[in-house]
Amino acid sequence: MPNGEFPAGLMGLGLPPSLAAALGNEVIAVVASGTTSGTAKAIPANAGTALVNAQSSQTGVLLPNINVGSIIYIIGTGAVAPVIYPPTGATINAAATSLTLSGATVACQILRSSATQFYSVPLAP
């Protein structure tokens, strides 16, 4: 089930939003690879949190095609800062085609605000 649908389903059964989000947040480790959106390692659709291990400069991951209003947490765990790419046709932070975390072990949230727009929290360049 794609990220965002599982917590929504739990809320539909009467669980409070914070509990539904915690239960529906699968943590998945991903090794960054590729230096373009076409060659980056795809984060699985069921990930609520991605532990991204980047060992080579400029390697990255491709965000899953999550629902509008859904959030995915990205946590760098490698030796270098990973690059994050949105799905084809989408941008991050108003116009960027990629986002590089500010450090190797930095975390951020990525919110999908529309079919073609993602925003990072904190807002990164």
Tens-binned pLDDT, residue by residue, of the chain (125 aa): 444 456 666 667 777 766 666 666 788 999 999 999 999 999 998 888 999 999 999 999 999 999 898 899 999 999 999 999 999 999 999 888 999 998 899 999 999 999 999 999 887 65
Three-state DSSP class for residue 120:
strand
User: Which CATH architecture does the domain made up of 27-121 adopt?
Assistant: Sandwich (2.60)
In this prediction the pTM is 0.81
94, 111 contact by CB (below 8 A): no
Residue 82: per-residue pLDDT: 95
Which residues, 6+ apart, have CB-to-CB distance to 16 below 8 Å?
none
Length of the chain (residues): 125
φ, ψ at 91 (rounded to 5°)? -130, 165
Residue 84: per-residue pLDDT: 96
Ordered by start, the domain boundaries in the chain are 27-121
* β-strand pairing of 91-92 with 99-100: unpaired
Residue 90: per-residue pLDDT: 96
Environment class of 97 (CB within 10 Å of its CB; exposed 0-12, middle 13-18, buried 19+): exposed
